[in-house]
Structure 1
Amino acid sequence: MTATTRPAEGAFHAASTNNRPLLARIEVFDSLEAAAPAWRTLETGDVLATAYQRLDFLALWQRHIGTPDVIAPCIAVAFDAGGAPAALLPLGRHSSHGLKVLGFLGGKHSNFNLGIWRRDVAAVVTEADLRRFLAALEGRGDALILYNQPMRWRDTANPLALLPHHVSPSMAYRGPLRPDFEELLKERTSNSTRYKMRKKVKSLTNKAGPVAFSQAEGADATRRVVHEFFAQKSARMQAMGMEDVFGAADVRAFIEAGVCASLPDGKPVIEIYELTAGGEVVATMGGMVRDGRFSAMFNSIPADKFRSESPGEQLLVNMIRTCCERGLTTFDLGVGEASYKDMFCPDEEPLFDTCLPLSTRGHALVAIERAKSAVKRTVKQNKSLWSAVVRARQWRAALSRKN
């Protein structure tokens, strides 16, 4: 175990009941294993954290994608005066343009990045406290670049929003759930929409056979469904002229490990679901659950089959029904704008990015990252520009198929 310990120098001015500093020291760990005891303690308490900051999830990601020679863990943990962990930033260090960059572990496979904060700490932490927290990272990187951070989580402000930041290029989208699914469905859809949904189920049944929805359970079933997901996603991304972000061997190994691995409570790290018609998989979805919220990570439908039957919509309706029956309170479809999200995820979830230099050399990289983010945001929020990008991708895909 390698850890750097620094006193908080009176930082984190929140006071405990005996007026001692709430956060008394900060340690930086070079491995997930070394940080695990503090991490596990935080996870079992009342904390602000998304499913993407769960140790079991990030350990799999680091094993298959991060790896020490690509991304070196740099886990910053703050402890209170009694020695109990109070906050944790699951960071990793990678090289970019010859500089060392610190960012959240999970990379582009994490829709939300938040860190783990005890709620009593999150309620009172100040910008000065955060800067002393980050001072423990000095010498470990040239820049701190943190993407896709929610402004609020579980009705509490994200402490890192106290630092200088800018709006992320895209929003995330979520929606509330209710114990009564039928009541929620009536609230979110019209009579004519529900009639069309029933017709689509009937049409799919007539074309392919009985329609069934289920969660894959057991190693064989989960591997079968995840392999169907890979095949469907690859074909669809190729048709859309987009990079298949799930095509790399290390990414596929990570996803397969996630659907097969279990949390301490026995539930899968990543849950995966399928919609079948006559035994054929016509839609899939994978996601994670934490604190009453289902966060969808990925989904797929066949590239060219059953378009008029909308199998993705049929799977989504069944997913929402299942989440309501489980007593979950929130459902999200991750980051990025898409029309299919409107039905059950109508609420925008603002995200922000943090780009801060940690050394003199880091200033130039931070300026570049901020500029790139501004361009992406401009394109994605301008319907005409974004439509042009989509058309260009489709044209490129069609040209590639001809050649």
Structure 2
Amino acid sequence: MNVVALRAFPEETRPAPIDCHVDEVAVFDNFAAAEAPWRALEATNCTLATPYQGYDFLNHWQAHLGAAAGIRPAIVAGFNQSGRPLFLWPLGLRRLAGLRVLEFLGGKHANFNMGLWQRDVAAAIDAPELRFITRRLAEHADLMMLTAQPLTWGGTTNPMAQLRHQRSPNHGFSGALIPDFEALIRVRTNSATRKKMRKKERGLADMGEVRFERATGARQVHRVLDAFFKQKSARMRQLGLPDVFAAPGVRRFIEAAVESKDGRTAPIELYALSVDDMVVATMGGIAARGRFCAMFNSIQPGRYAAESPGEQLIVRLVRTCCERGLDTFDLGVGQSRYKHLFCEDAEPLFDSYLPLTGAGQLPALAFSAAAAGKRALKQHPALWSAVRTVRRMRGRLAPAI
């Protein structure tokens, strides 16, 4: 653990005192050392955080994926004079072309990246103090690449938006929930759409007994994950996209995160829609602070696909979320037609490429330019359609594994 005392901030440039000002910063190089302040922030309703930055979720990710990828924890936490944790940034350190790079832990398995903040601190901390904190990290890294950060969360602006940043290539997509699901579905659909949905429900029921369930036991989890990985692999091959779920350790990560241990709630919830013994659709997600965040999903191709089993699973899952009293449902990052039914709100995301040393200056510019180019490409419908067509052609030509 490394501690940087913020009392060294020059008096003439130090920001005006705030009620919960940061007095010191610690950089933890392992999860065990960071657990106490991390769980303290998670335990209060006054904390601003996404479900993806939970201690248990990222601890499983680091154990099964991060460590194998050469990522070491570099968890940054700020404390006030009495030792109360004010914020925590769950970061990891990796080597990239000789550079020391700090990124959010979770990789591609976290749709949204953000620190954990006491809300009053998030509202009060200013850009000079944030820059001062990040500059003190130069002894650990050359560059910070903080991507897929929500501009706002829980009605509060992300404090990191005060630092230099640019719009991400993608948006997140979410929708508000209400306790009365039937009222919600009437607001989100018209009579013709509801009629079409009922017809598809009958079509699926004609093929066998339809069951929607959350997978909890080891045997049930194994069955649903078998279906998910097979279905996802086929879909990614069809689209010509890399399958991040095919990487070594991903299944072990998900299995570990679906299982509850030591009386704690399992970080990942796993759901399935089945027709008789066939799993025809799956979805995994993570819930906290009134919001359900979908992480991954799949559908069985072939005759079942015509009845939109993925949409039918989402409808049932949203009903469950309404009954649980959750207030927001999201289907992650990136635009797709299936998201429009319940997730019509586009949430802006931003990326920050912050050099910490001279060695990080040019790479920061290069990564920033590459991300801006990707965003420009996605905003040009004809060009982006051409890219997707080439990917699909490549997927059809690729040999099946």
The equivalent of 2:106 in structure 1 is 106
The one of 333, 355, 359 aligned to 2:353: 355
Contact in 2 for aligned 1:62/1:105 (Cα 8 Å): yes
Distance in 2, Cα, partners of 1:25 & 1:4: 7
Distance in 1, Cα, partners of 2:110 & 2:300: 24
TM-score, normalisation: structure 2 = 0.95
Distance in 1, Cα, partners of 2:22 & 2:143: 24
Distance in 2, Cα, partners of 1:154 & 1:181: 22
Give 5+ residue unaligned stretches, structure 1.
none
The equivalent of 1:292 in structure 2 is 290
Over aligned residues, Cα RMSD in angstroms?
1.7
The equivalent of 1:152 in structure 2 is 152
Distance in 1, Cα, partners of 2:322 & 2:221: 23
Matches within 5 A, 1:4-403: 4-9=3-8, 13-16=16-19, 22-45=21-44, 46-67=46-67, 70-206=70-206, 208-262=207-261, 266-401=264-399
Q: Secondary structure at the match of 1:266?
A: coil
Q: 1:14: how far off?
A: 4.5
Distance in 2, Cα, partners of 1:226 & 1:133: 42
Distance in 2, Cα, partners of 1:3 & 1:229: 42
Distance in 2, Cα, partners of 1:209 & 1:92: 47
Amino acid at match of 1:348: A
Distance in 1, Cα, partners of 2:397 & 2:135: 51
Contact in 1 for aligned 2:353/2:368 (Cα 8 Å): yes
Distance in 1, Cα, partners of 2:3 & 2:24: 10
Contact in 1 for aligned 2:166/2:352 (Cα 8 Å): yes
Contact in 2 for aligned 1:8/1:133 (Cα 8 Å): no
Q: 1:8: how far off?
A: 4.2
Q: 1:266: how far off?
A: 3.5
Give the number of aligned pairs.
Answer: 396
Contact in 2 for aligned 1:14/1:124 (Cα 8 Å): no
Q: Secondary structure at the match of 2:281?
A: strand
Q: 1:245: how far off?
A: 1.1
Give 5+ residue unaligned stretches, structure 2.
none
Q: 1:7: how far off?
A: 2.8
Q: 1:4: how far off?
A: 2.9
Distance in 1, Cα, partners of 2:333 & 2:159: 20
Q: Secondary structure at the match of 2:267?
A: coil
Q: Secondary structure at the match of 2:285?
A: strand
Distance in 2, Cα, partners of 1:232 & 1:291: 31
Tell me: CA distance 1:304–1:385, structure 2 relative to 1, closer, same or farther (3 Å): farther
Distance in 2, Cα, partners of 1:68 & 1:357: 26
Distance in 1, Cα, partners of 2:40 & 2:194: 46
Contact in 1 for aligned 2:3/2:24 (Cα 8 Å): no
Distance in 2, Cα, partners of 1:69 & 1:304: 36
Tell me: CA distance 1:69–1:390, structure 2 relative to 1, closer, same or farther (3 Å): closer
Q: 1:96: how far off?
A: 1.1
Q: 1:304: how far off?
A: 3.0
Give structure 1 regions of 4+ aligned residues with deviation exceeding 3 angstroms.
8-14
**Greater mean deviation of Cα atoms: 109-118 or 297-306:** 297-306
CA deviation string 1:17-48 (max 9, x = no partner): xxxx6211111111111111111111112111
Contact in 2 for aligned 1:8/1:23 (Cα 8 Å): no
